[in-house]
Structure 1
Amino acid sequence: MEKLIDAHIHLDQYDDIEIAALAEENEAIEALVSVSMNLDSCKRNLVLSERYPIVKPAFGFHPEQLLPTEKELGELINWMRVNKDKMIAVGEVGLPFFMRAENKVTKKDYGRYIELLEIFVKLAKNWEKPISLHAVYSDAPVVCDLLEKHSVSKAHFHWFKGDQRTTERMLANGYFVSVTPEIAMEEPENVTLVRNYSINQLMVETDGPWPFEGPFSGKRTHPLMIKESLKKIAEIKGMNLQVINTQIRNNTKIFFNIN
């Protein structure tokens, strides 16, 4: 099997010993796209990328947390601007679906999250960078609206879940989606997404260190779990595993401009 690329991992949330071990897996892993949560996370991902060439950092502000203050946002944007040539994408950014589901976000604040996301969408457009998105279910159409408004086509919806109409819209717009090791657990929603989405717009990820159940229960999330994802995708698509691996690897390299 060719080398693997994890299209979405929070590498900065692993400890130094784990990160060093992951970096030494470079015979099996070609790249780790490490997304950021906030400014401190961005800075750590930058340091990791300078230490380990396998690490490809993305800079942004994860939406499932309190909104940044004006000062915090200004510092983040200024830092990103200075370091934009060192990042592979803008991310992770998006909308707070799960916080809203727990009634932790007011309607007014939700509008502010949309405004914040639009700032990142415009930055991605202006800097000609891909954008890695946290946008599921009812948030996904809102995000599609913003992407279309600013003519951003190089968009990646990580661990996507949503209705058929939105999925078809994303597919038509050329947006990419990625699936986690959860696909190996054969949950119908994930199987349907893989079955219906173009193999030319699919990637794989772990979202590590997020833990998984089923065959991965009790195990620390590791990029090599992607092998099981690829096997399941090949089964769902009725395609040869090596062909699937090559296609998805190439998709990811092209999307993120990985040489």
Structure 2
Amino acid sequence: MLIDTHTHLYSDKFAGDRAAMMERIPAVGVELSIMPAVDSSSHAAMLQLEADYPDRTLAMMGLHPVSVKADYEQELAIVREYLDQDRKWVAIGEIGMDLHWDVTFREQQEKAFLIQCEWAIEMDLPICIHARKSIDELLALIERVGDDRLRGVFHCFTGDFRQAERAIELGFYLGIGGVATFKNGGLGPVIEQVAHDRLLLETDAPYLAPVPYRGKRNETAYLPNVAEKVASLWKTSVAEVSRQTTENAWQLFELDRFAQPGLPWVAGMAAKT
């Protein structure tokens, strides 16, 4: 059993073959897919997909930093309305900072991140962090918040060992995806050295497809390729990577809150224990 802790299954890039793509997921042993939110343009699509596949998807809610513009307060108000609904959310995300393409709204990104961190503490939910060229900045913001209840995952972690250790010390996990399989991805030393109980597996589909699919549309069905890479670096079996990372995801996202008899991923976890 594997859990994809970060996948945009509702993306328009799957519009032409979404049903077939979804069927490929359980066929490779991925029993649960966790979907991060982006902004109001896609919230409805994400929630519809969750409703269509209630036995194997869970949704987050949050405002992606790339979607933080001058109207970010309006977008945050929409996020808050969703968070206040009478339902469970697996996390607040994806939130954070993206300083790669455009830094025009850097100040707004910081404010949006801190507001959503406050909500996470208030609601006792983990956060899913997007940290593109901004890991140190976000670590500093988390330290500024200074609340041990703030926890979560640095999605698509691409930092160095020092940054990894700092994130873990602050109570965070590291999301490992397709970049781990890239020849010059630079993640090998991090994956080899950090505590195994702090790594999660993800695809970030439809982005960042692992080798041998690099450059193509990514799918959650490619998660075993990431697991195989981690297994080689840990010098262990894919089964052990599956067991450990599934337990990690279960712990961070407190999946007991969503566990119901008959769900494939619940049965899968019970079989592991």
Name the TM tier (shorter chain): 0.7 to 0.9
Contact 2:35–2:57, Cα closer than 8 Å, also in 1: yes
Q: Distance in 1 between matches of 2:245 and 2:112?
A: 31
Equivalent residue, structure 1, for 2:11: 13
What is the distance in 2 between the residues matched to 1:173 and 1:73? 25
- Deviation, 1:79, is 2.7
C-alpha distance in 1, partners of 2:99/2:53?
Answer: 33
**What TM-score does the superposition give when structure 2 sets the normalisation length?**
0.82
Match of 1:113 among 109, 113, 122: 109
Indicate if the aligned counterparts of 1:185 and 1:215 stay in contact, CA closer than 8 A.
no
TM-score (norm 1): 0.86
Structure 1: runs of 5 or more not aligned = none
Match of 1:74 in 2: 77
Aligned to 2:263: none
1:243-254 to 2 correspondences below 5 Å: 243-254=240-251
- In the TM superposition, 1:173-184 aligns within 5 A as 173-184=170-181
Report the Cα distance in structure 1 between the residues aligned to 2:228 and 2:89, rounded to whole angstroms: 30
Alpha-carbon shift at residue 212 of structure 1 (Å): 3.0
Aligned residues: 249
2:40 equivalent in structure 1: 39
Matches within 5 A, 1:1-259: 3-14=1-12, 15-16=14-15, 18-24=17-23, 25-26=25-26, 28-53=29-54, 54-67=56-69, 69=71, 70-82=73-85, 85-99=87-101, 104-106=102-104, 109-137=105-133, 139-148=134-143, 149-151=145-147, 152-212=149-209, 214-217=211-214, 219-258=216-255, 259=259
Paired letter, 1:77: R
Q: Which amino acid in the other structure matches residue 194 of structure 1? A: I
Contact 1:209–1:222 at 8 Å: present in 2 too?
yes
Alpha-carbon distance in structure 2 between the residues aligned to 1:86 and 1:68: 29
Asked whether the 8 Å contact 2:156–2:176 carries over to 1, the reply is: yes
Contact 1:42 1:60 (C-alpha < 8 Å) held by counterparts: no
More helix by share: 1
- The answer to whether the 8 Å contact 1:38/1:61 transfers is yes
Task: Give the direction of change, closer, same or farther, for the CA distance of 1:112–1:21 in structure 2 (3 Å limit).
Answer: same
Q: CA RMSD in A?
A: 2.2
Q: Which runs of 5+ in 2 are unaligned?
A: 260-273
